[in-house]
Amino acid sequence: MRGGQTHRRLIRNILSSSTLARHYHHLPTMAEATLATDVPWYAGYPEVRSSPATITRSDLLNMIEAGKKPGVDYILIDLRRTDHEVSNACKKARQYADKCTSDREERYRVRSIFLLRACTLPYQHCMPRSELPGFPRSSGTAVSTLTKVSKEGSMLIGYFQALLEVEGHVLQHGSQTIWTTVMRIKC
Amino acid sequence: MESIVLLEGIKGWATAGDEYNAKMQEYDAGIWKD
């Protein structure tokens, strides 16, 4: 009887423990779980909420060649499915979510959005190094760029809301290809 | 702020030819091959 309780306690501790501990106990990541079953990778993500407008690469190229400045007129963010599994990204997400709001529920919402979408390439060791001008190198850079553009806190929230819209589009297509989002900042 | 999705994503951009590659920093063609 006591052994059963100990086992349940161990399982409960593992499930509530850090990513590192989960790795130690060989619990699967989302990516591993997806590979192990036939469940589509996007099954664990929220439902589609919106369908943002699109832009062709030739239009974007024209925008760049017309002298539009990255980080001022636009920001390019590359969204990849496994970014939220990078431990440092999780840490940054917590930090920025805490800055966003003191409301606990809102903080969790912002954090989860951040984890799913705000991390950009190349995040430390896991991503190719090629990039377009204007790509923030990390989620932190993306947010700090936005903060420089507008010191209003609402801009930060707007950033997350925009990312939420983008997620809807990604899910709608259900593709494993790499997506890029162009975020225009209207000052 | 307005969010817009780039059709065919960064991979489409990286494989669309020199005109587009020239705009990329630290471009490495090998990374983008299937």
Tell whether B32 lies on the interface with A, counting CB pairs under 8 A: yes
Nearest chain B residue to A163 by CA: give it: B3
Would you state the pLDDT for residue A67?
Answer: 81
Q: Chain A window 69-88: which residues touch B at a Cβ cutoff of 8 Å?
A: 76, 78
pLDDT digits (tens, 9 = 90+) for A124-153: 222 333 333 433 444 444 444 444 433 333
pLDDT digits (tens, 9 = 90+) for A5-26: 544 454 444 344 334 333 333 4
Would you state the pLDDT for residue A153?
Answer: 36
* Cα–Cα dist B15/B29, whole Å: 8
The confidence band for A173, taking pLDDT boundaries of 50, 70 and 90, is very low
From the centroid of its chain, how far is CA A64? 25
**8 Å CB contact of B12 and A155:** no
Place of tokens 């420089």: A148
**8 Å CB contact of A169 and B6:** no
Query: For residue A122, is the peptide bond before it cis, meaning its omega torsion is within 30 degrees of 0?
Result: yes
Reported ipTM: the value is 0.93
**For chain A, which residues make up each domain, given as ranges?**
2-37, 57-184
pLDDT digits (tens, 9 = 90+) for A53-92: 778 889 888 888 888 776 566 666 654 433 334 445 455 5
pLDDT digits (tens, 9 = 90+) for A85-109: 444 545 555 666 666 667 776 666 5
Is residue A167 within 8 Å of residue A59, measured between CB atoms? no
Would you state the pLDDT for residue A162?
Answer: 44
Distance from CA of B25 to the nearest CA of A (A): 5
Which residues, including other chains, have CB under 8 Å from residue A78's CB and lie 6 or more apart? A120, A121, A131, A135, A178, A179, A180, A181, B9, B10
Nearest chain B residue to A127 by CA: give it: B31
Distance from CA of A8 to the nearest CA of B (A): 45
**8 Å CB contact of B1 and A185:** yes
Nearest chain A residue to B15 by CA: give it: A57
Average pLDDT on A175-182 reads: 35
Distance from CA of B12 to the nearest CA of A (A): 8
**8 Å CB contact of B1 and A131:** no
